[in-house]
Structure 1
């Protein structure tokens, strides 16, 4: 798959409700519909470790991507996405992912032999996890259901920060060679009187920069509308290597915001290019 950019988040305007498990009143589902790391949604699962959230959209919309960002499910958690053409998960079921792994594991080449277990999660050293699901082709849906299955989640609840749902922008020609990935930090090293260099440890956040050099006219308005929609204030989700698996896919996928709004440059007949720089949100 080529890069996926999910800029118009249908989740934010959906009518959402818990259908399995019990909603925690102090951690409402609406927290997953607004940006802010201090806001989380939480559900107490049923006796089998299941929780489910139903969503109704404001009409029929194309969907090819779902992301649950900043969650604290265990490494063995499963999840499932179902999409329907009627409201309240009625009518024809147009998609069913089945119960699949919610937390990706390392590829064989990424394992530290004699150190990692044969099945090692990517997120061992991360402060949170996220799960992403990309459909091969977009499908129209009016409602859907997200099911989480986990008996070993943190504090025994299914807690998550943000959900992204919608139709991603996926250019026909992928980004150029030279894409940049960098870890950023607000740490400020200071040298002591004895010459030692110290800094108070703070969270590392990522920054991506990449160039799309071969956008055709049919792709230009979709990207332009996406940029106009999110501006500098809205968060969105980008995955540079969707479906790649392993640590590379996770390191190059994140909730983000633009550092500056990128121009679309008409570089040739029926061709546009742009360079995009984003920081982790």
Structure 2
């Protein structure tokens, strides 16, 4: 089965890793400070922010490990290498966002039922620390988040934590000047709902990749119709299209030809197909099995 692919050049991989390490260090500092501050002040929103920060630390560590694994070479027993490590990391991190959110919702409801006074001045200063530190991490990861699902999962953790720190700051000011202590569990609930909102899409996207679903932007029937327009092609069947990772989209298919063409003629047709698929659909790995008069299922989609 002839196989071709278009390669991609990925720049600054070491910089990506260093940014993750720096973000991990910042979030460890924030987490420790907010846990101590939350206990002393009695602020649930500060403790919830600390819990979210702790999940950030774990997610960033997972993202860093996945980033390193994805660079390892393929071998005879790992023919794809670890190219899916970053997708798995994105799935785990998105799931962690939702789990943390559920825990926060439970704690917020309990605090609504049993309100407590809060030492607001400590809340204000520690929320400012969270804004600055997470804001710096968000800035460092923003560029890579646009093109990498794993980095986007880490970026979303940090972005939501920065926004949560803003909310905690506003809550601290309201408690300090207006004694509105009910704001504390309300903000915790708002933070939790936002975590679910941010994590859901990433969880769905990473699940689709892990399940080998065809990318939403690619229409199988359109591709089949394009290939069928080639004069020597009789039938396109047994089609599979899936996304391996952020950079690779694969297609494999069987093509039944009208005549028993030469291999050199098939190579010309194959080049035409792969160029068309790459330019219009971003498919950069193409496997085509040529056939002539073979007795097999001619359905476009075949359950293997």
The bucket for the TM-score relative to the shorter chain is under 0.3
* TM-score (norm: length of structure 1): 0.23
Larger radius of gyration: 2
Q: Which has the higher strand share?
A: 1
* TM-score (norm: length of structure 2): 0.22
Q: Which has the higher helix share?
A: 2
